[in-house]
Structure 1
């Protein structure tokens, strides 16, 4: 359940929030706005300190009701000298409900528009990292749900400002011990400013021990004093400064104009890069991303595997992108998705079960399908099935087009990359005739299975563990008697059905697709069409019966594309070993809609030393060398 907040009448619009767990008030009686500004914002020298900077990162221990984030966001929005990108990373062991966060802002009308946007994204806060995006991706909130020390160990970035949780050490000793401050110091650079209204002697001593130089300053009622300081250790920290090695945005070439490449281009362009996207086809999304419509739904496993956790992170980012860039009902629809578990009942993690601590957050993602949902699909009431709440369908090509329209991105078709050369610190991309197509300081390979040969051309010694996977989907237009037999939402589990998709010629349906390893053929095969129909008969017998006539009369259209997968079933995302300034984003298999946007943001974050959108160990599982080791293990 969300953390319980008690609201006490104090004459303000919302009341005064108190924490029953810690027996402490969560903000001052005056509403907390002046405290947030004076203690934290001004205590860290903001907004003056970030003026003219390309990006700024604030680390907060204790998100609480989000007031410090809202105040910082509002200050960024109002500042003409604001940085291009604002990162706000906050840990929280006991997240409050979205409604309580919004209620807390009612005392300050100027914050309500920001709080409403925040409330809209505060759902499904299971343990781990959650990346929330605002202002077209220029304000990024990374909520880290769990113990502060454990969450900070999963980070590798340098904060420019630190807001320390103000709970008393007596009430919340875990957030105030020296080990927590060591974890905070690990995320600081020399000169990082720190602020809190807690001036306990034990806090000052622990901060000093960890390398902070602190001093008491005048506080704001009802607190007489507050604390300010800087990270200036008397010793030389062992880690190398990330800030010193951040690349200055310049020119970048992305090879591949599908979901993976277009997403990378947009993420880098938002950070100031001039990106050229090259593709052999005459139009974007001509490969596997040209599927008429795809299903977006999380992967679920009893042990909440790496794949499951990454899929949720990816879907959260993809939903943000779809809401921001696409036309609802035409390009995509958040309908929910029913997963019909054909072979066996798919089990949810034990901690997600009703009555468990994570049940409410988990049910924002996935629950057991209801009898009404099963009946709507024409399935028996004892059918094992899941209901994915945050799910739906998307037209991948529309999303690719939207990403390629990002300012700073230039797309060039009929430009087949055949060879990569490094000359004078830049990468040159050559065509089959040896003519240079483009050159730039940074190169990203997002050409599906074609990334393997290009990586070898760039000098990679161990080939990328990428495998081509052919898929054929079937689609058609609804007849008057077929639409009533369709569910109102997509169904997957044994192939998939997107039942109602607005196509150029009218309302249609899409089913599929096949899964054929090591095939590059894009020919439409009648046998695959029948295979798709056979799977639909098992998945949704009523819908299959309604569409049988169209298959019998050969009124069905086909689409085929070549996906790319890795042995680990996870994407391949990261820099190539011993090949400078070349990255790869590929191997997303049949989950390109789940992974493309996340991988793009992860690539940009790793490149610039920013906070990662997922835990470090999850990000490391995507490194190309990890996929290679997995492939080698399978062979032995």
Structure 2
């Protein structure tokens, strides 16, 4: 969390159009911004003809400099609906240093009535806090990756330094304020990153013919052509990537499985698009890797929240998903409590933990509202500051939220205001999250697993995984024989370590007991979820859930009276009258095991060959800062999602999106820093750097 992300300072002209005060420049043509977009970016990239030639299920990616009002995105989306095959997918990647607040975005897009159905969807999903980093928004077959930050740095943050994973952009919209107004954006580093993210033959179009733009594009490997500009502009540029430079390894690639590297380095044949966009080819002629093995059938082991979100993410990408669980129904393990709290621990300092918590919460709030609203109760959540340290922390966070106009996500409240929101007297100030609340865990898992591409196999415990040519063989303990899949994903919490391939992962079991009690005369007044040193949710079916205990490394799951008393004592710190009311009532509950990692971030990614990882990067024991350009071997198409700890329902949706990106060769929904921070191999690499053996 940082104040580096400033927001657009808008001046509204008499004609209703927005102007940036920072750059003293307009966002789009005063003649017709929409027609300008269609001519400059859609037509000059030959998108109508290229999209009609896409195959079913094929994906097309657009990159953009300067999201601005989102007009280019909406125009592309509208054309996609008209021209693309039904099952094709559009991914739109855009960067923005000075994002518009939602109210300014809504006002600007109101200028285009024909785009309003799409604009309303964008505004509804627009991030409630425009925090620096990557924001992934889904609109059915269309996805938007909005990266908040300086353009060159933002594109750099998407690069994994692997050509086969980075080179995904088919067409570029080089937009933004004019170079004369904003020369700091149009840097050599920007063009270098654009080229590094481009497929061979990727096209571009831009409204400007400024010299620094032409030089930057040529130096990065693009060939250019001047064509008539829009309206009063005499000329503009279009062209495509002709020269491919291999990715430069600037950091040890321990996170990258050995994959296919683009082998077409050097000059390519004369680009066909410059001769006539109407006959522009797609597919192989534009550098698509037709030889890469495509994963079609996947096995997800585990039907808790990690398995359910993973299965749903892959099913929505068209994969054939089979989910295996030893229990009789979804969420039979740690995801089986009556009520689950949807919250995250915000931090005033930038860093992987704080950044992931924030982005995971924003993604999860939108995810559950769209995927399983009937199982989610968005009654709000109060995070109360019970100690002096927490009060100081929340004071900083509250100021940051206010400066960023993020009240839609959270805002600071006094004890008096918190009491009015909760419906009960509270002694502490806090942070109020109006869109958060609580979930019905098993119903969430069940709903997510209801998809035409998902097949469920309950009471089927997988006891062994065996690598085979082209995939994995799953051996059930009982059942109808082995099962074969192109890829396997292990999502079994502490059970992840039962497989030899993942036994090295440093997961720690944490016992947690939740208490349940019938609603009382006072407790029924509770209107919102409360969270502090413990938590309590509003009543559901005449009962409250509260707790939970935290017993590190304990693995027993029987109910304990002493932990019921512990939960009551914790609750008394929040609501002494309610705790007293509950103390005379019979308590029931449930104990289960969480699985946590040493750094309390989840694991989402591919599983390495541990011996190969150790030998390839052995020199890190001498100096952890050594640059070792080699890659280690990985378990082919084996992945893991786990270590969600006590925030599983907040973490799982975004972590599953990361996993889907690994499996489907997509742009990551988080920065490269967070991709590494979530990687299952990170602990082994850290141990090497500390010269420590497991």
- TM-score where L is the length of structure 2: 0.83
CA contact (8 A) 1:574 1:583 kept: yes
Specify the alignment match of 1:599 in structure 2: 655
1:464 matched to 2:505? The reply is: yes
Over residues 497-531 of structure 1, what are the superposed CA-to-partner deviations in whole Å (9 max), with x where a residue is unaligned?
11233xxxx23311011112223322222222111
Deviation at 1:205, TM superposition (A): 1.9
Partners of 1:349 and 1:337 lie apart in 2 by 12
Residue 586 of structure 1: which of 638, 642, 654 is its match? Answer: 642
CA contact (8 A) 1:337 1:391 kept: no
Deviation at 1:285, TM superposition (A): 0.6
Over residues 56-108 of structure 1, what are the superposed CA-to-partner deviations in whole Å (9 max), with x where a residue is unaligned?
21111100111001111122223351553221111111111212222222232
Partners of 1:142 and 1:351 lie apart in 2 by 29
Deviation at 1:120, TM superposition (A): 2.0
Partners of 1:359 and 1:422 lie apart in 2 by 53
Deviation at 1:387, TM superposition (A): 2.6
Say which SS state the counterpart of residue 200 (structure 2) adopts: strand
Partners of 1:340 and 1:201 lie apart in 2 by 56
Mapping 1:511-590, distance limit 5 Å: 511-550=546-585, 554=586, 556-578=587-609, 579-590=635-646
Deviation at 1:6, TM superposition (A): 1.7
1:149 matched to 2:159? The reply is: no
Partners of 1:532 and 1:351 lie apart in 2 by 29
Compute the RMSD of aligned alpha carbons: 2.5
Distance 1:357 1:590, change over 3 A: closer
1:429 matched to 2:474? The reply is: yes
Over residues 307-351 of structure 1, what are the superposed CA-to-partner deviations in whole Å (9 max), with x where a residue is unaligned?
2211121122222221112235x5322513333334632544998
CA contact (8 A) 2:361 2:651 kept: yes
Partners of 2:318 and 2:206 lie apart in 1 by 33
1:373 matched to 2:417? The reply is: yes
Distance 1:631 1:337, change over 3 A: farther
Over residues 478-513 of structure 1, what are the superposed CA-to-partner deviations in whole Å (9 max), with x where a residue is unaligned?
2445313x2x21111212111233xxxx23311011
Mapping 1:98-247, distance limit 5 Å: 98-122=102-126, 123-135=128-140, 138-156=141-159, 157=166, 158-233=168-243, 240-241=261-262, 244=289, 247=293
Say which SS state the counterpart of residue 184 (structure 2) adopts: helix
Say which SS state the counterpart of residue 465 (structure 1) adopts: coil
Specify the alignment match of 2:81 in structure 1: 77
Distance 1:306 1:346, change over 3 A: farther
Partners of 1:16 and 1:474 lie apart in 2 by 56
Distance 1:265 1:538, change over 3 A: same
Aligned residues between the structures = 613
Specify the alignment match of 1:253 in structure 2: 299
CA contact (8 A) 2:426 2:574 kept: no
Say which SS state the counterpart of residue 345 (structure 2) adopts: coil
Deviation at 1:217, TM superposition (A): 1.2
Say which SS state the counterpart of residue 44 (structure 1) adopts: coil
* Larger mean Cα displacement after TM superposition, 515-524 or 580-589: 515-524
Say which SS state the counterpart of residue 178 (structure 2) adopts: coil
Mapping 1:338-487, distance limit 5 Å: 338-342=383-387, 344-348=389-393, 354=399, 359-376=403-420, 383-432=428-477, 436-454=481-499, 456=500, 459=501, 463-484=504-525, 486=526
Deviation at 1:628, TM superposition (A): 4.1
Mapping 1:14-25, distance limit 5 Å: 15-25=16-26
CA contact (8 A) 1:297 1:390 kept: no
- The answer for unaligned runs of 5 or more in structure 2 is 1-5, 160-165, 250-260, 263-286, 610-634
Say which SS state the counterpart of residue 198 (structure 1) adopts: coil
Partners of 2:326 and 2:401 lie apart in 1 by 51
CA contact (8 A) 1:249 1:272 kept: no
Partners of 2:488 and 2:379 lie apart in 1 by 34
Deviation at 1:145, TM superposition (A): 0.9
* Larger mean Cα displacement after TM superposition, 118-127 or 424-433: 424-433
Distance 1:619 1:389, change over 3 A: farther
Partners of 1:410 and 1:549 lie apart in 2 by 46
